[in-house]
Amino acid sequence: MPQIGAHRSQNYKKSRKYTLNVVFFFYLYFNFFVPLHIIQYFVVTLQSEVCNLFGLRLKFKNMMKVNVDDKLLRAAAENNDLDSFVQVFIDAINTAIGGQLTAENMAELNSDQITLLAWSYLHEEMMDGGMIQLIHNGYGAFIWLNPTDKAFREWSESSDDCKCLHDLFKLINKSHKLWNLHHEEIEQDMSDEDFMALYEKYPEFDEFDDLFVSNEEEWTEAIARYIDEHIENFGNIIENNE
Q: Write down the mean pLDDT value for the chain.
A: 82
Query: Residue 62: what pLDDT?
Result: 63
Query: Residue 14: what pLDDT?
Result: 35
pTM of the model: 0.77
How far, in Å, CA of 239 to CA of 242, rounded?
A: 9
Query: Residue 5: what pLDDT?
Result: 46
Residue from 124, 91, 82 nearest 235 by CA: 91
Query: Residue 77: what pLDDT?
Result: 85
For residues 30 and 219, the model is more confident at 219
Q: Per-residue pLDDT for 147 more than 80?
A: yes
- Residue 98: partners with Cβ closer than 8 Å, 6 or more residues away: 105
Task: Provide the greatest CA pair distance for the chain.
Answer: 55
In terms of average pLDDT, the best of 51-65, 93-107, 176-190 is 176-190
Q: Per-residue pLDDT for 194 more than 50?
A: yes
pLDDT tens string 79-117? 889 999 999 999 999 999 999 999 889 999 999 999 999
Query: Residue 72: what pLDDT?
Result: 93
CATH topology (fold) of 64-238:
A middle domain of Talin 1 (1.20.1420)
